[in-house]
Structures are given as C-alpha cells and as structure tokens.
Amino acid sequence: MLQYVYPAVFLPQEDGSYTAYIPDLNLSTDGDTIEEAYLFIKDYLMVYFKYAGKLDEEPPMPTKFEILKDKNKKSVVMLVDAIVESKWG
C-alpha cells in the first residue's frame, strides 16, 4: 500500500460553503461545510491516484505545507492523504 499526502487549501465562500483545492495536482471540489469539502477532496485525491497510472506519469512532489500556508494566510490549509493498493491504484 502507498500513501500520498498533499496540502489542500480550503477557501470559504460567501454562502458559507468551502472550495477545497490541491494546487500541485490542479484538483478542486466544493462542500457545504469544511468537513464535507475535506472528505470530497480526500476522495478526489484517491480517485486521482487510482486512475492516473493510465497516463503513465509520476505525480509532482507536493509543495511543503509551510510554503502553501504562508501563501494562503486567509484560508485554511490542511494535509490530505490518499492510500492506494499499489503504485497508481
């Protein structure tokens, strides 16, 4: 089993919902709450690694958490992980 960990930025929206974004992989999703956005982006990350092997490319190295946190001071930054059975799902 392999574990991939990437920092995600959670942007609050005017309606109270959140957009979750993993800049290193250009993945984003929305949730009604920050908890829901976290679960959705976590699932999205797992699906990404499950199917990205078909492209036969290595994923980019994740940006250091501290760097992303410094660039997004008005947003919440959290680490999100995906566990897959083997390389590329």
Return per-residue pLDDT of the chain as tens, 89 residues: 788 999 999 999 999 999 999 999 999 999 999 999 999 999 999 999 887 766 676 788 999 999 999 999 989 999 999 988 765 44
Instruction: Extract long-range pairs of 47-52: CB within 8 Å, 24+ residues apart.
Output: 48/82, 49/2, 49/4, 49/82, 49/84, 49/88, 49/89, 50/84, 50/88, 50/89, 51/89, 52/88, 52/89
Classify residue 28: in a domain, yes or no: yes
Residue in the structure block whose two tokens are 């699932």: 43
Classify residue 89: in a domain, yes or no: no
CATH of residue 11: 3.30.160.250
Classify residue 31: in a domain, yes or no: yes
Supply the range of the domain harboring residue 58.
Answer: 2-84
